[in-house]
Amino acid sequence: MVPKFSGAMNPQRLIKSLPNIRPKSLVPFETPISSQISTLRATARLLFPSNYNIKFSQFIGSNRLSKTPFTSLDLKQLSHSLDFEATRYHCDPLGGYLFVNFGLDGSSYKNTAVVFPDGVLVTWFMDRDQEAQIAKWILKTTINCASLSPTRGKRTEAITVDQFLSSELSESINVSELNEDTTGSQLANGGDSIMLTRFESERSNDILAVSMALASAVRMNVIEAYLQEHISFGHNEISKLLQRMNNWKLSRVSETIFKSEQLVHNWRYFLTQNGVDDVPDCLWDYGELDKLYEQVMKNFDVHKRFNDINTDLTYYSEFLATCGEHVRHKYSSRLEKIIIGIIAIEAGIALRHLLIDMFGENNSDAVGIVPVVSDTQ
């Protein structure tokens, strides 16, 4: 039986550590790379895409957007199922990640996986069959342990293993030969691959930092897909309603615009609370990991895409504001027509009474002139 490691991580400090003080390793064991590994690649996929679909995750428990994903894996409970041979694992004390080294025997670790609470799975040095096996293990363990939180019993959208493997939203990066010239891991071949450090004592931390960046890139892919779908659908629906709109049927258009504006605010709140492009707190004390994380994030344009998402939301919000202003003008125009109609009716009634009064008096005068006949005659 391979000994398990559960080293605790130092509490997060508010300032970065001093240069001469090296913080404790995030992953308290080494990750050797066997010469028998044939698949030199790291791949990130998302098991629960609905975590980043506002339609599913906007209102949880109360009328506020949840700061946690709609479906959250209990990583500590998940790690309890790892009590078998050829496995080393470390679960973040704060529940931020689960780092696992798999192998065929007690001394050879050929595969690595990093699991995050929102269902992002990053696999290292695995072929598709091994990735499918890990995905099935996570889904099966999650269902058996009923470890979905905080929305246990509510609707969840988990993709199948086949969808997981064929997902177009996944992100991958190749792993080139070990870096013999420098001490730290770095991107190589123009960002197409990652060159890991030759120091096994530092490799686990580097793999974790790269995995966090890959996870952010996958989340960004899913957010972009859902957001573009929502914007395109909302834009088309509102445009069709505006074409069929008349002054007496404004309520449906006004309600649709309000719901769309509410969705935009929910998206902004969701992006702000989840901090998709923020550096993870656990990397704050590790300058070299911070830099490696930023390199991978820049390679996948995560920061730029995050800004583009906010720009798209701004443009869509301006479109909704323009449509809302148009509808308000229609409401004002309708009100003016109603007021004009009421005034016209009142004027007509007043004119009728005036005519009745005028012609009524003339008729009465005409009827009142009767010739007088003398009695003497």
Q: SS3 letters for 211-268?
A: HHHHHHHHHHHHHHHHHHHHHHHHHHHHHHHHHCCCCCCCHHHHHHHHHHHHHHHHHH
Q: CB–CB of 139/158 below 8 Å?
A: yes
The number of beta carbons lying within 10 Å of the beta carbon of residue 287 is: 13
**Where do the structural domains in the chain lie, given as residue ranges?**
41-330
Residue 364 is predicted with a pLDDT of 56
* Average pLDDT by stretches of 10, the chain with 377 residues: 38 44 75 71 87 62 51 81 74 89 66 90 89 84 54 56 80 80 78 83 89 92 88 86 75 83 85 75 83 91 90 90 83 84 90 82 56 52
Among candidate residues 98, 92, 130, 64, the one with its CA nearest the CA of residue 282: 92
Instruction: Name the DSSP letter for residue 15.
Output: S
Q: CB–CB of 292/186 below 8 Å?
A: yes
- Alpha helix (H) residue ranges in the chain: 54-57, 75-79, 128-145, 161-166, 200-243, 251-274, 287-299, 302-368
Q: CB–CB of 73/114 below 8 Å?
A: no
Residue 157 is predicted with a pLDDT of 63
Long-range own/partner contacts, residues 51-60 (CB < 8 A, 24 or more apart) = 51/118, 51/119, 51/222, 52/219, 52/222, 52/223, 52/226, 53/157, 53/226, 54/226, 54/230, 54/263, 54/266, 54/267, 54/270, 55/230, 56/155, 56/157, 57/270, 58/266, 58/270, 60/150, 60/151, 60/154
Residue 61 is predicted with a pLDDT of 40
CA-to-CA distance for 43 and 331, rounded, in angstroms? Answer: 54
Residue 31 is predicted with a pLDDT of 84
CA-to-CA distance for 210 and 112, rounded, in angstroms? Answer: 13
